[in-house]
Amino acid sequence: MTSYLCAIGTANPPHRIPQTDIANFMAGALQLNEAGTRKLRALYRVSGIAQRYTVLPDYGRENGAYEFFPNTPDLEPFPSVGHRMAQYRLHALPLSVQAVRECLRQQPEVKVGGITHLVTVSCTGMYAPGLDIELVAALGLNPNVQRTCVNFMGCYAAVNALKLADAFCRADASAQVLIVCTELCTLHFQKSQEDDHLVSNALFGDGAAAALVLGKPAVKGPSLALEAFHCGLEPDGQQDMAWHINNFGFEMTLSSYVPHLIQRGIRKLTDQLLENLPVQLSDIHAFAIHPGGRKILETIEQELGLSTHDNRFAYEVLRDYGNMSSATVLFVLQKLLHSLTPADAGAPVLSFAFGPGLTLEAMLLKVVLPEVRTADGHRTALLAEPTARLTAQPVS
């Protein structure tokens, strides 16, 4: 029995701020000297990010006009965890609802009241009764919907949510599973000049993604069959990628050694995923890789022999949104879904995501398209509307 990823909806907060403006905010907030400011701006220029979205307008403003941070030269008193969690609770629900509505709009035959399982994912905010219960009321879900929360697993958590959805659908072919990943990473800006914090401040943005997983392919538009999963660990990276709750927000450790760790483990992870499947890496031409950062994408390309074109969906998401933790790989998969044509039916798709541990998650998916009979009796794949092919030209 196979399960199918049938629709993905995404949403972002209203504040879209250019990377250059965020760099200016950070230089002022960290009270950097001229040399430090030049170094910081160089880091932002080479990040591969053009803009990011945030629930906090302050990142695009000058001191004196802040709404969340204190209007003092050193931002003191610096916002506490409690203050940040109040903002999470304020913004997480409406952003999640927006993503879910976009997701379900794509498959109108699936009714809200028919959703059997709800899986919520986040590592940037928690409270109870939580987002899962608020979504039941806001969306009009059946109060008996089975709820599961995946918390604090970081950027790879969407893969774990898909594993849960796959298990639910394999156990019951009538299951209709709604996954909601909501991350407000920008709430956790750390006022520190340590390299780890400078890098994380340069990468993360806010966003939500909702995914619908069913025990049968979508009636309308393409689906991705969930063919196989594999998880790997690089224990040497426990101190290189980590996520801790501290007095002034959640603190990300993200060292420059992470790309090396991923390089060391990515080929083994891929081989182990595919070793019992009738698919070789050379058969795969569609990829959905979590853009943890530009260097990570380049490292994977070098190790697996991929081109920038192969990785174009990841680069597009990194450029337009930054790293939104668990929601990010669903943004990448959404772009891939929107690119499909009938010629792509049956194509394998390889997806990766990474996070604390150092954890490396891999998925193999397969493109499935609805079929209709032509006038001469032949079957042909059908898409709801024309889109660009997987083999479209590289992004400039």
Cα angle value 139/178/350 (rounded, 5°): 145
Q: Which of 155, 169, 181, 185 is catalytic?
A: 155
Report which secondary-structure segment, H or E, holds 204.
Answer: none
Least confident of 88-92, 193-197, 347-351, 374-378: 374-378
Cα angle value 104/139/95 (rounded, 5°): 80
CB 158 within 8 A of CB 330: yes
Q: Are strands 15-18 and 51-54 parallel, antiparallel or unpaired?
A: antiparallel
Q: pLDDT (tens digit, 9 = 90+) per residue, 181-227?
A: 999 999 999 898 888 889 889 999 999 999 999 999 999 899 999 99
155 catalytic? Reply is: yes
Q: Which residue has the tokens 């690119």?
A: 339
C-alpha to C-alpha distance for 315 and 114, rounded to whole angstroms = 36
pLDDT at 379: 54
Please state, for a pLDDT cut of 70, what percent of the chain lies above it. 90
C-alpha to C-alpha distance for 367 and 214, rounded to whole angstroms = 14
Residue 34: exposed, middle, or buried by beta-carbon count in 10 A (0-12, 13-18, 19+)? Answer: exposed
Of 365, 368, 364, 314, the residue nearest 340 (C-alpha): 368
Mean of the per-residue pLDDT values of the chain: 90
3-state secondary structure of 122: strand
pLDDT band, residue 318 (cuts 50/70/90): very high
Q: pLDDT (tens digit, 9 = 90+) per residue, 122-143?
A: 999 999 999 999 999 999 999 9
Q: pLDDT (tens digit, 9 = 90+) per residue, 248-276?
A: 887 766 655 567 778 777 888 899 999 98
CB 350 within 8 A of CB 272: no
C-alpha to C-alpha distance for 200 and 293, rounded to whole angstroms = 10
Whether the per-residue pLDDT at 40 is higher than 80: the answer is: yes
CB 351 within 8 A of CB 336: no
Whether the per-residue pLDDT at 306 is higher than 50: the answer is: yes
Report which secondary-structure segment, H or E, holds 280.
Answer: none
pLDDT band, residue 386 (cuts 50/70/90): very low
CB 291 within 8 A of CB 297: yes
Of 389, 315, 314, 388, the residue nearest 347 (C-alpha): 389
Whether the per-residue pLDDT at 334 is higher than 50: the answer is: yes
The structural domains of the chain, ordered by start, are 223-381 (3.40.47.10)
Q: Which pTM was predicted?
A: 0.92
How far CA 149 is from CA of 6, 10, 138, 295, 331, in Å, comes to 21, 19, 17, 31, 20
CB 280 within 8 A of CB 342: no
